[in-house]
Structure 1
């Protein structure tokens, strides 16, 4: 799967896949739409579906790696919110998980709730990732 000497980027991607898996499992079940979404994120980043599934089944062995820049932080929280919406049901525990992850990713605690809700509404309204990111920059100040 991955070599002994993984790049920092590979470690961050594995950590992100693990976070997505944790969110998917938080409501007590893993919906096929959620699994497909996680696999698509992995594929978009050059991973095979089997590698993504392997990471999800061995999540406890993955050491968390946080993104090092604001754009990557936004992309990770965006993916988490999109994951939350994947099964069509937004559970309060999923929303709380996304808000807590946004804070752990380094966003200011005063804006994380607004950020998660803005992404959620933007995705539901069919806005592009870049449009949502551009709008969010006004209150994130990065």
Structure 2
């Protein structure tokens, strides 16, 4: 996702490293994984909460460099659909997360608001 706009901003890389650390990875391992991302088979989330968290992380990464590229937005929307969210609401979901992050709301608050219209 971070590479979709043609460059990997240092802010985006720092965000990716912080996600990796949250899941117990070392910074060097995360950087190596990003460098070799074309050779990695993505794992689908095991439950609805993890699906939301994955989309949330993608949207936060999209916002990390302060520039929202249309390709990044499209990627987030497509990923939400591929993760199993209803196609009729994926655009709303991504925009709701984006606005919540920009407004400084917590992940839990955004997740709670999203649950009211997701019914996932």
| TM-score tier after normalising by the smaller chain length | over 0.9
**Superposition misfits of 4+ residues, deviation over 6 angstroms:** none
| RMSD over aligned Cα atoms | 0.7
Structure 1 counterpart of 2:53 = 75
Gaps of 5+ in 1: 1-22
1:26-105 aligned at under 5 Å gives the runs 26-105=4-83
Structure 2 counterpart of 1:120 = 98
Secondary structure of the structure 2 residue equivalent to 1:67: coil
Please list the CA deviations of residues 77-120 of structure 1 after superposition, one character each: whole Å capped at 9, or x if unmatched. Answer: 00000000000000111100000010011101001000000000
Gaps of 5+ in 2: none
Indicate yes or no: 2:116 matched with 1:141.
Answer: no
CA distance in 1, matches of 2:34, 2:113: 32
CA distance in 2, matches of 1:64, 1:24: 15
TM-score (norm 1): 0.83
The number of residues matched between the two structures is 120
Alpha-carbon offset, residue 59 of structure 1: 1.2
Secondary structure of the structure 1 residue equivalent to 2:78: helix
TM-score (norm 2): 0.98
Secondary structure of the structure 2 residue equivalent to 1:26: coil
